[in-house]
A and B are shown apart, each in its own frame.
Chain A
C-alpha cells in the first residue's frame, strides 16, 4: 500500500468566516465520560429500588394458550408479576400490535418476545421467578425471510393483516403489509432505448446496530398518578408520548428523564422495557429497574431488516442512464413497518434518470420488529443499485466515477420518488473522490478497488432550546435532544457563534420532558440541524434583548446598536461600548435577567451524499477479506465541529464494513438466533480495520443559518456496495449476498 503524501482528514470548506463554527473544542461532557462519572441508565439507583426481569418466548411463532404466574408470585422476594392483561384495553389493531411487542397477548411472533415481567427485591430472585411462570404454547411453523413470507402457502402471522396495494386495502389476508410503487417517465421505453442492461437480484440478512449499552429503564409510578421514567433513549418525548398512549395517560402525567446514552444508531427510538417497568411500579408502588442483557438486546430489540432486492438498469453506449427499476421486499419483523419506504426514497436518488419505477413491499416475518438503523433501508438498496452501476461501468468501459458524474443528480433534478432536489453536493462528492490521492494512486499488488456513493434525505421536525444569561457572562443552555455523538457541544457552538462568546462559556444540558419544549428524536440526522437551529434562534433572542437592555442603559435607540464578537456597541458613537460580560453583571440592577428561547420546526432540510473508495485483498484459499485502505467523502453542508463529523463518517463506515463482511442474525430452522453474543455476532474490532480517512465536503445547505445538512446517516450507505465492488475487482466474484463472509466468498465462482 502506498501512503501518498496527503492529509488523512481533509476539510474542503466553503465558508471559514466563523469564530466558533468549524473549530474543534473539547466536549462539555468529556471529563464525566472519561472518568466514569456520567450517569447511564444501568447506574441509576433509588431508595427501595426493585429489579425487573422479563420472561421471553422460546418460540419464533406460537399461539399463547395460557400463562400461569401464580407460582412465581408466591416466591419469596417477588413483589409483582405483569402480563399483557395489565395494559388498558386497546382501541385499534395498531394499538394492540404496539402493546403486543412490549408484552405478547395471544401470539408470540419471534423468539425473544416478552411474555411477562417480574419485579423482585434483587435480580437473582426475579430471574428465578421467571422459571416458575408456566406458559402453554401451540407452536406454529416460523416464517423467516421475505421469500418464505410471500409464498402462497406461507404460514400467516396475523389473521387481521390485509395487504394494502398502492394505498388501497385489498382485504386479502397475507404477510405482505403493503405494496407501494413510484413511477417516473416510461420504464419500458427507457429499457427499449438502452444499449446495455444490467439485471440482478441481491439478498441481505438481518443485522443489529450493535450499540454497546443495552436497553434499560427505571420507572416510578407515584400515588398521585404521575409516572416518572429514567431511561437510555434517542427521544425522551417519544418515550413520553408512547407511554402515554400505551398506558392511556395524558402526556402531562408522564415525565421522562433521559440518562446518558451508550449508543443507539436508531435502535433506541422505540420503547421495550419502559412500559413493563411502569406496570410493575404501578403494582408495587416502588421504583422498578429493568436492564436488558446482551442476548435480550439482540433477540428482543429492533434490528434492521434482511431484504430481497432486484435491480435492473439500462444505459446508452455513452453512459446516459435511460431506465432504472427496483423491486425491494424488506422484512418488517413481527409487525408492519419495515424501512422499505425510506429505501424507495434513496435507491436511485443519486442519479438523474428519465424513466424509473420502484416497487416496495413491507413484509412481516417471525423476527423482532425492525427499528431504525442509520439511514434505514438505504444501505440494503445501495448494496444492489451501486453494484449494478459498477457493473454497467465495466460493460461500457467507463470509469465508475465518471459514469456516476455523467448521470449525477443536481439542484432541480426530480427524484424517482417525487421531490425535486434543492442545492445538493452529489457532484462535489464524486469530484472529491475522483481527485483524492487514494483514487489517483495505483492499487497495490493483489488488491482490488471499489467505489460507490449513497444518499440519505435527512429530516427536520421539532426542537426547542432555552438560554439563560448568568451574571458572570456565561450562559446556561437547555435542550431536549439526547446526546449520542457530541451534539450537546455542536448545539452550544451555534449559540456561542451568535453571542460571540467562547463555547466554554456555554453550559449545555440535556433536560427532561417537563423542562423543555417538545423535541423530536435524535435521529434522521436532524439534531445538529434542527436543535442547533433552535439554539441559534434562542441566542438571537438573547442577543436582541441584550441590545435592547444596552439601549435602555445608555438611553439610546436600539436600532443604532449592534452586538458582535461578544461586544455591544453603538454604530455611530465609539464611546458606547460594553462587553457581554459587563452587561451580564448589571442585568439584575437594570430590569432583571435575560433568557431567550425558541421552538422550531425547520423545513429547509438538506439531504447528504457520502462516497467511499476502498482497497481490499482477499485470501484466495480462505476467502477472508482484509480492508487495506478506506476513504469516506461526504457532503455535510457545514461541519460545525469537524472532529465529530469525522467521527460520524468513520463510525458509519465501520458499521457498513461490519455489515459487508461478517455481521448477520444467524437463525436456526426453528427461528432462534444462534449467535446472540458479541463473540459470535462478528462486528469488526479495531484490529479488523484500517484508519478510515475522511474528506469533508461543504456544499452549504441554504435551509440552515450555517449551512448544516446532518451527517449521521449517509455514510453507512456506500460501504456494502463499495466493499462488494472491491471484492469483485480483486477476485472477479460478484457478491450478491450479504454478509460477504469468508465461506460465502469461497462458495461463489468468478464471473
Chain B
C-alpha cells in the first residue's frame, strides 16, 4: 500500500473541486468498507492518490421524508441510520431488507447505500432494492447537478456513469401509495458474511386485487444489477395469483445472464432467479396487502 493523501471537504462544491483537480486520481469515501479494503489489497481499479472523505458534507448526510417529495437518503448515510429511521420504517420498510443485510452490525455502522451503488458490484445488496423502488440519484459535477434513475447508474462490474470529477449527492425514493409492498432477498450458502449468489428486489402496488405497478430487479446474475422491465410489466393489470407471479419469475430467469464461478454455476444462478423472484414477489404482495 502506497502513500495516500486524505481530504475532508465540508461542501459539495469543495468536494467536486478536489475531485476535478486531481485528474482522475481521487476517490470519494463514504464508509470506506469497500474502498479501504480495495486500497489495502492494491486493487488496480482504485488507484487513488487522494481519498476525499465526504461524511462532513451536510447534503450527503440528509435523511428526510415528505409525502410530496418522498424519501431522500444522502449518499453517505450509514445503514444503521436507515433502519433506525421512523419514516423509513413507516413508509419504506422494505429498504431495511438491504440495510440490515449488508455486512454485520459493525459494517452497518459505516456502510452506505451510496457507497454500495457507486462501488457497482453486480452483487450490491441495496441496488436491486433501490431499483425496485424506482429510486433516482442526484449527481453533482463541475457543471452542476443531474438526476439519473438508479437502474442506469451501473454500466459494468465496478463501473458507473458517475464521472471521476462527479459526486453522488443523494438518492430519492418517490412516495408510494397505499397498496405498495416491496422486498429484497438474496441467496447465500451461509447465513452471514457472504456474497449474493443471486438476489432479487421486487415491488408491487395492488388495487382491488390487481397489480397496478410492479418492478423486478436482479443481483449477481449479470455484469450489473438488472432491472427486468418485462417481468414487472407482465404483472400490471393482472389479478394477484400464483400463475401471474410464476410467469414474472420465468421472465426474470430468462433475463438473467450469469457466469459460472466459485460462488455458483450459471445454471444454478438462473434457477435461483426463478425461486427468489417468486419468493420476493410473494413477500411484496403480503406486505402490500398488509399495508392496504
Contacts and interface: CB of A to CB of B under 8 A. Distances in A.
B262 A622 contact: no
Contacts of A662: 189-190
Most buried by B among A666, A675, A678, A682: A682
Given A621-B275, A622-B272, A743 B192 contact: no
Given A666-B262, A674-B262, A742 B192 contact: no
Contact of A680 (B262, B268, B272): B262
Interface string B165-208: 00000000000000000000001011111110000000000000
Interface residues of A, number: 22
B271 interface: yes
Nearest to B263: A680
A741 B193 CA distance: 16
A373 to B, nearest CB: 21
A423 B195 CA distance: 49
A592 B264 CA distance: 71
B111 to A, nearest CB: 15
B2 interface: yes
Which label, helix, strand, loop or mixed, suits the secondary structure of the A interface?
loop
B100 interface: no
Contacts of B195: 679-680
B187 A687 contact: no
A675 B191 contact: no
Given A621-B275, A622-B187, A685 B263 contact: no
Interface in A419-467: none
A661 B192 CA distance: 15
Given A124-B2, A666-B262, A675-B262, A624 B189 contact: yes
B11 interface: no
Contact of A746 (B191, B194, B271): B271
Given A124-B1, A621-B275, A746-B271, A685 B264 contact: no
Contacts of A688: 190-192
A682 B194 contact: yes
Contacts of B1: 124
Contacts of B261: 674
Interface string B45-70: 00000000000000000000000000
A460 to B, nearest CB: 39
Which label, helix, strand, loop or mixed, suits the secondary structure of the B interface?
loop
Contact of B193 (A621, A622, A685, A742): A685
B292 interface: no
A689 B189 CA distance: 13
A625 to B, nearest CB: 9
Nearest to A684: B190
Contacts of B190: 662, 682, 684-685, 687-688
Interface in A630-670: 661-662, 666
Interface string A682-695: 10110110000000
A622 B265 contact: no
Contacts of B264: 743
Interface string A714-751: 00000000000000000000000000011100110000
Contacts of A743: 264-265, 268
A168 B65 CA distance: 81
Contacts of B268: 742-743, 746-747
A394 to B, nearest CB: 28
A661 B262 contact: no
Most buried by B among A124, A675, A678, A742: A742
Nearest to A683: B190
Interface string B1-23: 11000000000000000000000
A687 B194 CA distance: 12
Contacts of A684: 190
Nearest to A662: B189
A666 B260 CA distance: 12
B132 to A, nearest CB: 21
Contact of A622 (B191, B263, B275): B275
Nearest to A681: B262
Interface string A606-637: 00000000000000011010000000000000
Contacts of B272: 622
A742 B263 contact: no
Contact of A682 (B2, B187, B189, B275): B189
Contacts of B275: 621-622
Most buried by A among B195, B262, B265: B262
Contacts of A124: 1-2
Contacts of A741: 189
A622 B168 CA distance: 36
Contacts of B189: 624, 661-662, 682, 741-742
A680 B189 CA distance: 10
A441 B21 CA distance: 70
B48 to A, nearest CB: 16
Contacts of B191: 685, 687-688
A685 B271 CA distance: 26
Contacts of B263: 680
A666 B262 CA distance: 6
Contacts of B192: 685, 687-688
A680 B188 CA distance: 11
A662 B191 CA distance: 12
Nearest to A742: B189
Interface string A358-373: 0000000000000000
A326 to B, nearest CB: 30
Contacts of A674: 261-262
A679 B263 CA distance: 10
A628 to B, nearest CB: 13
Contacts of A742: 187, 189, 268
Contacts of A661: 189
A678 to B, nearest CB: 8
A661 B194 CA distance: 15
B205 to A, nearest CB: 27
Interface pairs A-B: 4 shortest CB-CB: A666-B262, A743-B268, A687-B191, A675-B262
27 contacts: A124-B1, A124-B2, A622-B272, A622-B275, A624-B187, A624-B189, A662-B189, A674-B261, A675-B262, A679-B195, A680-B262, A680-B263, A682-B189, A684-B190, A685-B192, A685-B193, A687-B190, A687-B191, A687-B192, A688-B190, A688-B192, A741-B189, A742-B187, A742-B189, A742-B268, A743-B264, A747-B268
Given A662-B189, A678-B193, 5 more contacts: A662-B190, A685-B190, A685-B193, A742-B187, A742-B268
